Amino acid sequence: MKFDFHIGTIDEVLKVDAQIPEFDGRTTANKLITKLADKANLILIACHDNKPIAHKIGYEVSNTEFYSWLGGVAPKYRKQGVATELRKQQESWVIDNGYSAISVKSMNKYPAMLQLLISSGYQISGYEDNGCVTSSKIKFIKYLN
């Protein structure tokens, strides 16, 4: 399968999110606009046959650190390297734009993401206790060259 990648739009993010059952429709245009307002940000989209099927969104948290906020791949397209390619493109953009680190949070209920982060050189940097182990967040950071 061939995938195309580009800098995308909030509308494309919403089209991807509608295909991801784990997200339960929680992402709204207003939430995205509010979170990304007044900060450097990047929206990456993966498409198959001109249809958005995955995204990776991040934003600046300081002049040295970029936060990888949201990402997802439609179930039909998982295990085909799409998330890995989005991660690589995001990391490349982060380096090209002068950041020295990229951070991300994930949860125990997403074991594939935890494995992807660790195997991609991200290190555990903290824990955000939200009252139970399934909804608490594990913080990761990767220092870039």
Q: What is the pLDDT of residue 81?
A: 93
For the chain, the helix, strand and coil percentages under 3-state DSSP, each to the nearest 5: 30, 35, 35
- Give the residue, 133 or 102, on which the prediction is more confident: 102
pLDDT in tens, 43-84: 999 999 999 999 999 999 999 999 999 999 999 999 999 999
Nearest to 87, CA basis, from 50, 55, 39, 125: 55
| Strands 4-7 and 41-48, sheet pairing | antiparallel
